Structure 1
Amino acid sequence: MRTVVCAALLLLSGCGATVASDTSATDPVTITNCGQQVTFDRVPSKVVTNDTGITELMFALGLKDRMAGYVIKGKDSVDVRTSPWKADFDSVKHLSDRVSKEVVQGAGADMVFAGWNYGFSESTGFTPDSLKSLGIGTYQLTEACRNGVGKQRGIMPALDALYTDLRNLGKIFRVEAKAEELVSGYQKQIADAGKLMAGKPRPRVFLYDSGQDQPFTSGKNAAPQDVISKAGGDNLFGDLNDSWTTVNWETVVQRDPEVVLIVDYADGEANTPEQKQAFLEGFAPLANSPAVKGKRFFSLPYAALVESPRNAASIEAFAKFLAEG
């Protein structure tokens, strides 16, 4: 298996840069976030972010100076080590491994940027409504917006969610020009990557995050859907109206994957891409699948496969792998 260190392949626009936002602006800004109108009376100055990709959105926009700190599990994780914004991670305060009201209040936060299952959760009581009662504003990651069907998530294609968040954050922080620069750059990079598989057969791709009893994978509303499809493949579970979700092995076997895209993410059972590949190769029901027989495995860091500024480079890297056959 070829494990890609994603940082070397990423579009570096905005890396380590601070973009001056118009902090003197006093006019309120209203944006649409997860289907709701949200108004910010002033430019937030003490933002707390939860999760790596969310934090990198702030860094890509040059907004590290507007942050009180970030919450991620393990500051020395693969995601941080491979991040093109590692210097920003080093210079902004790591607040905790787990987000909570106490953490954000202790940081003096005036805004929390998180998402459902990316920090927000009814089970922990850490929700936009609970923070509103404390006088703390929130912005929700669009990839993780609830879509009205139970707790399923995703209201638009993943790349549209990325562009929506960049443009919304651009308005909130008065850095619209920087947001548009990033969006146009990513769109060009993705269009160029798409040419690599033009006219070639589209392989069936199984996104394997974790889980041995039941696999955790991606439906049509999470970032891997667009990473896979824009690179020239078909997501094995692209018919599921959800983002990250659990399926069953019987369906994986029936759908006969030709390529496996592994998330470099520790799950307690198999903590490295190599361990995950070894499990899949030793899983008897998959032994005759084209992916296992042909050893067609590819890996990317977790932060490259959730909504983040790494998505375009992930598409490029995966397209190159698929094009090599």
Structure 2
Amino acid sequence: MRIIISAGVVAAALVLTGCASSTSSDGPASGPTAGTTVTSCGTELSVPSPPERAVTLEQGATEVMLALGLQDRMIGTSYLTDAVAPEWSDAYAGIPVLADQYPTTEQLREADPDFVYSMRASAFASEAAGNRQELVDLGVPAYLSANDCEDQTLIPDEVGFDAILDEVSDVARVFGVEERGRALVAEQRATLDEVTAAAADTGEPSVVWLYSSVNGAPVVAGANGLADTMGSVAGATNAFADLDAQWGETSWDEIAQRDPDVIVVADLTRGLPGDSADDKIDQLRSDAVTKGLRAVQDDHLVPVPATELDPSVRSIDALETVSTALTEYSEERR
């Protein structure tokens, strides 16, 4: 399906007011600008001046914008997979929600954005918001995270924090709030340094990252995603490092055979049976196959909001939570 964008979208992308230079620290200043150019998944995006009518297509992108204090530049958002972090809930409440999931091309057209942003390639499918390159060709910069490019050969071999922080810097530069971006990146890098230092003393316990279940089969983190990277940074080994996937199905029997030291439990708030961390923990403690696991017996079950296990500005919080749990585990073993 070919995307159709109104003339207002193109005009908004080409003729923007409140211009600022790419070195502005806090938002658009008066005066002309040469604009900003960033590269997103191999596509060069030209942004003539800091956007004023941004649309985010899913939660990860929304929270990057909110973390940078850019809610006043957002005229639409969509697709929450979890509750917005409490520190941003008030700011989020003032932004129109275009759709419960991805907006259609028509809904996006009606919003008349001058910048579109997603951390998921699926947002730019024809049955969702429409082809990203067509938006770009029409003069509407459409930014996609490096961790989920349409061309998978462009995705970094390791899904890690450098790509997340580079993205924060890109977005801050596009919106002319570089100082805010530098502060946020510095804060997260300080946490990364603390976790890395603590990792030396964990003893490398084995961890299962339990996300959800599909028809009763548990879905766990494999070797190719951010959860695996988190474990490495925090000083753990992934019990399913031989699973060639970011997330993949296994069986409760297989988890029991690997008998992990710690189980990280994703807390999903979409409301399906078994989604919440409490539901998963209840099952682990009551099921005949899993109730004898070391992690269950020793209560090394670590709930983490599911959204923090996807690459986002909140992933650092999950890393910190897991690092603290691993430190406690190692202290108990001394």
TM-score tier by shorter-chain length is: 0.7 to 0.9
Structure 2 residue runs of 5 or longer lacking an equivalent are: 1-24, 330-334
Cα distance change on mapping 1:87 and 1:195 into 2, 3 Å? same
Paired residue for 2:117? 113
| Matching residue within 43, 63, 67 for 1:56 | 63
CA contact (8 A) 2:147 2:311 kept: yes
CA contact (8 A) 2:158 2:229 kept: no
Paired residue for 2:7? none
Kindly provide the CA deviation profile for residues 247-288 of structure 1, in whole angstroms up to 9, marking residues without a partner as x: 322654443322111111136231321111122334444344
Larger radius of gyration between Structure 1 and Structure 2: 2
Which amino acid in structure 1 is aligned with residue 172 of structure 2?
G
1-structure distance, mates of 2:41, 2:258: 33
2-structure distance, mates of 1:220, 1:175: 35
Cα distance change on mapping 1:219 and 1:31 into 2, 3 Å? farther
1-structure distance, mates of 2:296, 2:222: 22
CA contact (8 A) 1:143 1:161 kept: yes
CA contact (8 A) 2:105 2:128 kept: no
| Matching residue within 305, 312, 322 for 1:301 | 305
Which amino acid in structure 2 is aligned with residue 180 of structure 1?
R
- In the TM superposition, residue 23 of structure 1 has moved relative to its aligned partner by 7.1
Paired residue for 2:184? 182
CA contact (8 A) 1:23 1:43 kept: no
2-structure distance, mates of 1:153, 1:263: 24
CA RMSD of aligned residues (A): 2.9
Matches within 5 A, 1:78-89: 79-80=83-84, 82-89=85-92
CA contact (8 A) 1:101 1:131 kept: no
Kindly provide the CA deviation profile for residues 111-162 of structure 1, in whole angstroms up to 9, marking residues without a partner as x: 221133562335547331354466533100222225636xx96554320121
Number of positions where the alignment pairs a residue of Structure 1 with one of Structure 2 = 301
SS, match of residue 215 in structure 1: strand
Cα distance change on mapping 1:203 and 1:118 into 2, 3 Å? farther
Paired residue for 1:129? 133
2-structure distance, mates of 1:108, 1:23: 23
| Between 299-308 and 57-66, the greater mean CA deviation after superposition | 299-308
| Matching residue within 160, 167, 183 for 1:158 | 160
Name the structure, 1 or 2, with higher relative contact order (CA <8 Å, separation 6+). 1
Kindly provide the CA deviation profile for residues 175-196 of structure 1, in whole angstroms up to 9, marking residues without a partner as x: 2232222111111122123334
Paired residue for 2:51? 44
| Between 211-220 and 60-69, the greater mean CA deviation after superposition | 211-220
- In the TM superposition, residue 97 of structure 1 has moved relative to its aligned partner by 0.7
Q: Given the alignment of the two structures, is residue 233 of structure 1 paired with residue 240 of structure 2, yes or no?
A: no
1-structure distance, mates of 2:283, 2:134: 41
Paired residue for 2:12? none
Paired residue for 1:68? 75
Structure 1 residue runs of 5 or longer lacking an equivalent are: 1-17
| Matching residue within 264, 267, 271 for 2:267 | 264
2-structure distance, mates of 1:22, 1:214: 54
SS, match of residue 174 in structure 1: coil
Which amino acid in structure 2 is aligned with residue 27 of structure 1?
A
SS, match of residue 309 in structure 1: coil
SS, match of residue 310 in structure 2: coil
Paired residue for 2:11? none
Which amino acid in structure 2 is aligned with residue 189 of structure 1?
T
CA contact (8 A) 1:154 1:242 kept: no
| Between 94-103 and 279-288, the greater mean CA deviation after superposition | 279-288
Cα distance change on mapping 1:25 and 1:283 into 2, 3 Å? farther
Q: Given the alignment of the two structures, is residue 223 of structure 1 paired with residue 226 of structure 2, yes or no?
A: yes
4+ residue runs over 6 A deviation: none
CA contact (8 A) 2:57 2:118 kept: yes
- In the TM superposition, residue 202 of structure 1 has moved relative to its aligned partner by 1.3
* TM-score (norm. length: structure 1): 0.80
Paired residue for 1:273? 277
- In the TM superposition, residue 230 of structure 1 has moved relative to its aligned partner by 2.5
Cα distance change on mapping 1:83 and 1:155 into 2, 3 Å? farther
CA contact (8 A) 2:58 2:120 kept: no
Which amino acid in structure 2 is aligned with residue 230 of structure 1?
V
Aligned-pair identity in percent equals 24
Paired residue for 2:33? 26
Which amino acid in structure 2 is aligned with residue 187 of structure 1?
R
Paired residue for 2:195? 193
CA contact (8 A) 1:147 1:154 kept: no
Cα distance change on mapping 1:269 and 1:28 into 2, 3 Å? same
| Between 159-168 and 274-283, the greater mean CA deviation after superposition | 274-283
Q: Given the alignment of the two structures, is residue 214 of structure 1 paired with residue 217 of structure 2, yes or no?
A: yes
Paired residue for 1:3? none
Which amino acid in structure 2 is aligned with residue 260 of structure 1?
I
| Between 18-27 and 182-191, the greater mean CA deviation after superposition | 18-27
